[in-house]
Amino acid sequence: MKFDKHGVLEMTKINYDPARPKAKNPIKIQDVSLRDGHQSIFATRGRTEDMIPVAKMMDDIGFYSIEMWGGATFDVMHRFLNEDPWERIRTLKKYMTKTQFSMLLRGQNLVGYRNYADDVVEAFVQRACDNGIDIFRVFDALNDFRNFQTVVKVIKKNNKHFQGTICYSLTEPRMGGETYNLEYYLEKAKQLEELGADTICIKDMAGLIAPYDAYNLIKALKEQTDIPIHLHTHFTSGMGDLTLFKAIEAGVDIIDTCMAPYAYRTSHPAVEPLVISLLGTNRDSGLDIKKLAEIDKEMEKVIPKYKHFLNDTKNAIIDTNVILHQTPGGMLSNLVNQLRQMDALDKLDEVFEALPKVRKQLGQVPLVTPTSQIVGIQTVNNVLFDKEGEEFSNITEQVKDLCFGLYGKTTLPIDEKVQKKALKGYPRGETPITARPGDLLEPELPNIKKEFKDLAKDIDDEVLCALYPVTGKKFLSWKYGLEDVPDDVKPKTLEDVQKEQELVRKALSGELTTKKVKPANTKAFDVFVDGEYFNVEVADPNAKQMGMVVNKKEEIVAGDDTGNLLAPIPGMIIEYKKKVGDEVKAGDTIVVLEAMKMFNNLDAPCDGVVKNINHKAGDSVSKGAILCYIESK
Ligand code: CO
């Protein structure tokens, strides 16, 4: 039987044997379920214990690689799961001995949200190599590859794989326009080749890349370079599968997919339909569909533990806003959450409208962690706090750093007026730098070693504290039994989940007497079943916050007329800059509050003396919480 050519793929013969050989030039597949998969749809909450049952099975599939670390995992694991991030690599390595491990590394930002000094960067990458990472997907939010220098040096020294990454960004609905056009990406690929990239990745974290743009881009890249090309896209906009298929037709070498239970929505296309679609073609992956299905079955068993993280308020599994606004899905949900917590969800359209302008003023940067948060939160601030004739009235610390050049070079120059305003009184100086940011940063490890010498037992602990001093310290005191592990970071069993679901069902159906007790975007129920007490929280997007002291206009000063300094937004306290008894002037920074990964300096509402400090570093506070009391003179 003879087959016609199908599109640009050759059809040879269809061999249904699950153990058929792969094609001569098979599409290589990296599975990302255990990193980007659960990060995208389950808020990165996947636990190692739920990965172990499928680890060996996945190792047997023949994936090109398995991405299982990096990105948000490091942060979430120690902060919310009471898991040592380093331990996950070592544990999974015991079960996965054949397949390469891959991690996502934010260049000089590592797995944090700012540029770290070279000594921290070197120690981190070295320990990632030692613990078992084989492939480093290195990206920089600004596509400023000077931020790769130090990590690449260590990766190469260890003979590991350096995947040079270009963040895909748009200003129009399709590739093109003045900034993010084909020439931009080809030029970036050339720079990566010069840096010695083993593979080149197009990282489309927002699911923006349209099928024909992917086709043209991959074709052009394949003509320009012999380095294998890897495409990373998300399903978010609904184009993911179409895009992968056109990329395969254009000759892409490696793609990212998820196992079905972790696929689609803001995650990735699923591997299973792709394997079948390519069966018998000259790009046949050779993967065994039966074995994949067995993994799916095993994975489904633990999904109930995570399902409540799934945003399923809408029926649609695609996000048309991504097509409309070209902004990452994760950034959108952050904006929505932030506005909701500030009781200003009605401002969402204004934020969308203001976003392109703010982004342009801040140098038309790609929108990926952390720039997506930096631009997003500044836009929210502008919409909420700016008055007629005054722009950027409330500038976040990160925007100041960006304006100073601490993240690197922006795609276009930053608006001069904005830059000047941001750098007024900036502690590092009012003139922005042009050098590689890492050159400016003093070594950080010596101080960390000193500060955490009683707590950190080895270099892995020290690097954790260098990246996350506040939550890292908290984690280590759980790890070494100095503090009790709070219930909310302990793992749940499937029985716990069933019990909760039953209670929620009863509470919602009115079978139990309920009492609203907690001001948040959740409804909390005090529930008694057979004499046992439970506090059940149900996500309630319509719930209004109660007990707020400030109204929207007063939030700017974050205080009230009694001298109380209030949290203007929910967040975590990073540090108190003053102590009880200190004399302060109105406008002095008293507290640094982290909200949505951004640091906000909260200033004294009046001159006076600090009388009370109600919290400590590491505490989570809700909006309106009284952080300290300043008695005015
Ligand atoms: Co991604």
Q: Which of 346-360, 393-407, 423-437, 514-528 bottoms out in mean pLDDT, i.e. has the lowest?
A: 514-528
Cα of 343 vs centre of ligand 1, distance in Å, is 30
Cα of 207 vs centre of ligand 1, distance in Å, is 9
Please determine, for residue 41, whether its predicted confidence score (pLDDT) is greater than 60.
yes
Cα of 550 vs centre of ligand 1, distance in Å, is 38
* Average pLDDT of the residues in 623-633: 85
Cα of 205 vs centre of ligand 1, distance in Å, is 4
Residue 303: C-alpha distances to residues 139, 291, 298, 538 (Å)? 30, 19, 10, 18
Residue 228: C-alpha distances to residues 216, 308, 520, 521 (Å)? 16, 38, 48, 46
Q: Which of 108, 9, 28, 80 lies closest to 475 in space, CA to CA?
A: 80
Q: What is the pLDDT of residues 443-459, one digit of tens each?
A: 999 999 999 999 999 99
Q: What is the pLDDT of residues 173-210, one digit of tens each?
A: 999 999 999 999 999 999 999 999 999 999 999 999 99
Cα of 33 vs centre of ligand 1, distance in Å, is 11
Cα of 270 vs centre of ligand 1, distance in Å, is 14
Q: What is the pLDDT of residues 475-485, one digit of tens each?
A: 999 999 999 99
How high is the pLDDT of residue 373? 87
pLDDT class for 4, splitting at 50, 70, 90?
low
Cα of 266 vs centre of ligand 1, distance in Å, is 9
How high is the pLDDT of residue 438? 93
Cα of 483 vs centre of ligand 1, distance in Å, is 35
Cα of 138 vs centre of ligand 1, distance in Å, is 12
Q: Coil, strand or helix: which one is 608?
A: strand
Rounded Cα gap, residues 217 and 210, in angstroms: 10
Helices marked H in 310-370: 320-325, 329-341, 348-361
Cα of 245 vs centre of ligand 1, distance in Å, is 18
Cα of 403 vs centre of ligand 1, distance in Å, is 26
Cα of 256 vs centre of ligand 1, distance in Å, is 9
Cα of 303 vs centre of ligand 1, distance in Å, is 20
Please determine, for residue 13, whether its predicted confidence score (pLDDT) is greater than 90.
no
pLDDT class for 507, splitting at 50, 70, 90?
confident
How distant is the alpha carbon of residue 567 from its chain centre? 24
Q: Beta strands 522-529 and 532-539: pairing type?
A: antiparallel
Please determine, for residue 586, whether its predicted confidence score (pLDDT) is greater than 70.
yes
Cα of 342 vs centre of ligand 1, distance in Å, is 28
Cα of 379 vs centre of ligand 1, distance in Å, is 23
Residue 285: C-alpha distances to residues 102, 513, 556 (Å)? 19, 56, 56
Tell me how far apart the 2 most distant CA atoms of the chain are, in Å.
94
Cα of 612 vs centre of ligand 1, distance in Å, is 44
Cα of 139 vs centre of ligand 1, distance in Å, is 11
**Token pair belonging to 430:** 């009012």
Residue 374: its H or E element: helix 371-385
How high is the pLDDT of residue 339? 87
Q: Which of 238-247, 546-555, 612-621 bottoms out in mean pLDDT, i.e. has the lowest?
A: 546-555
Angle between helices 289-300 and 48-59 (to 10 degrees): 170
Residue 373: C-alpha distances to residues 355, 381, 444 (Å)? 12, 12, 25
Q: What is the pLDDT of residues 279-334, one digit of tens each?
A: 989 999 999 999 999 999 999 999 999 988 887 778 999 988 888 887 776 677 77
Cα of 241 vs centre of ligand 1, distance in Å, is 15
Structural domains in the chain, CATH included, are 24-309 (3.20.20.70), 327-440 (1.10.472), 494-539 (no CATH), 548-632 (2.40.50.100)
Cα of 44 vs centre of ligand 1, distance in Å, is 12
Please determine, for residue 363, whether its predicted confidence score (pLDDT) is greater than 90.
yes
Cα of 88 vs centre of ligand 1, distance in Å, is 20
Residue 164: its H or E element: strand 161-167
Cα of 36 vs centre of ligand 1, distance in Å, is 6
Cα of 451 vs centre of ligand 1, distance in Å, is 35
Cα of 67 vs centre of ligand 1, distance in Å, is 11
HSE-up (13 A, CA, CB side) for residue 51: 26
Please determine, for residue 242, whether its predicted confidence score (pLDDT) is greater than 80.
yes
Cα of 395 vs centre of ligand 1, distance in Å, is 28
CB proximity list for 37: less than 8 A, separation 6 or greater: 46, 258, 259, 262, 263, 267, 268
Cα of 204 vs centre of ligand 1, distance in Å, is 7
Cα of 356 vs centre of ligand 1, distance in Å, is 22
* Average pLDDT of the residues in 399-420: 96
pLDDT class for 549, splitting at 50, 70, 90?
very low
Q: What is the pLDDT of residues 253-263, one digit of tens each?
A: 999 999 999 99
Residue 208: C-alpha distances to residues 27, 130, 175, 224, 370 (Å)? 22, 35, 9, 23, 18
Cα of 233 vs centre of ligand 1, distance in Å, is 7
Cα of 237 vs centre of ligand 1, distance in Å, is 13
How high is the pLDDT of residue 518? 45
* Average pLDDT of the residues in 374-399: 93
Cα of 529 vs centre of ligand 1, distance in Å, is 42
Cα of 133 vs centre of ligand 1, distance in Å, is 18
Cα of 31 vs centre of ligand 1, distance in Å, is 12
Q: Which of 442, 376, 429, 445 lies closest to 595 in space, CA to CA?
A: 376
Cα of 559 vs centre of ligand 1, distance in Å, is 39
Strand partners, 529: 532
How high is the pLDDT of residue 556? 34
Cα of 127 vs centre of ligand 1, distance in Å, is 23
Helices marked H in 260-319: 271-277, 289-300
Rounded Cα gap, residues 620 and 574, in angstroms: 10
Please determine, for residue 416, whether its predicted confidence score (pLDDT) is greater than 60.
yes
Cα of 375 vs centre of ligand 1, distance in Å, is 19
pLDDT class for 149, splitting at 50, 70, 90?
very high
Cα of 422 vs centre of ligand 1, distance in Å, is 31
Q: What is the pLDDT of residues 211-232, one digit of tens each?
A: 999 999 999 999 999 999 999 9
**What mean pLDDT, rounded, does the chain reach?**
88
Please determine, for residue 88, whether its predicted confidence score (pLDDT) is greater than 60.
yes
Q: Coil, strand or helix: which one is 183?
A: helix
The answer to whether the beta carbons of residues 603 and 587 sit under 8 Å apart is yes
Cα of 338 vs centre of ligand 1, distance in Å, is 22
Please determine, for residue 623, whether its predicted confidence score (pLDDT) is greater than 90.
no
Q: What pTM did the predictor assign?
A: 0.83
Q: How wide is the angle at C-alpha 429 spanned by C-alphas 599 and 472, nearest 5°?
A: 30
| Region of residue 323 (left: phi > 0; alpha: psi -120 to 50; beta: else) | alpha
Q: Beta strands 626-631 and 608-613: pairing type?
A: antiparallel
| Region of residue 541 (left: phi > 0; alpha: psi -120 to 50; beta: else) | alpha
Cα of 35 vs centre of ligand 1, distance in Å, is 9
Per the model's pLDDT, the better-predicted residue between 397 and 556 turns out to be: 397
